[in-house]
Amino acid sequence: MMTLAKEHCEACRADAPKVDDAQINSLMEQIPGWAVLDRDGIKQLEKSFHFSNFRQALNFANHVGELAEEVQHHPAILLEWGKVTVTWWSHKIRGLHRNDFILAAKTSELETTDSPDTV
């Protein structure tokens, strides 16, 4: 079985299916530390990454931005001193698509590169 981080995103259309609850439960096992949140009826994936200083947090946020640009799928990124919160969801379908889980996994791989302390 291919890990999520090795998968490629597909173009998301407005009529693309959202992942269902059973799929969410299965996919969540592959992205430890991420949480499913419901904001205004829209399911989203979110995780906070903690760093020793602002520069490390900024570097990580920039790497997440580069990842997003590569696939033209963009998360919400909240940058604070020593902390970056990343939130993935698919705007076109107002919920979660498999792409969001793939990108959450890829984001978690970046944490190894940038060596944050995660919570």
Q: Give pLDDT tens digits for 55-89.
A: 999 999 999 999 999 999 999 999 999 999 999 99
Q: What is the pLDDT of residues 14-53, one digit of tens each?
A: 888 999 999 999 999 999 999 999 999 999 999 999 999 9
CATH of domain 20-118: 3.30.1360.20
Are the beta carbons of 92 and 14 closer than 8 angstroms?
Answer: yes
Q: Which residue has the higher pLDDT, 52 or 114?
A: 52
The residues spanned by each domain of the chain are 20-118
Cα torsion through 33, 27, 85, 116, rounded to 10: 50
- Could you tell me which of 109, 119, 114 has the C-alpha nearest to residue 4? 109
Total-model pTM: 0.91
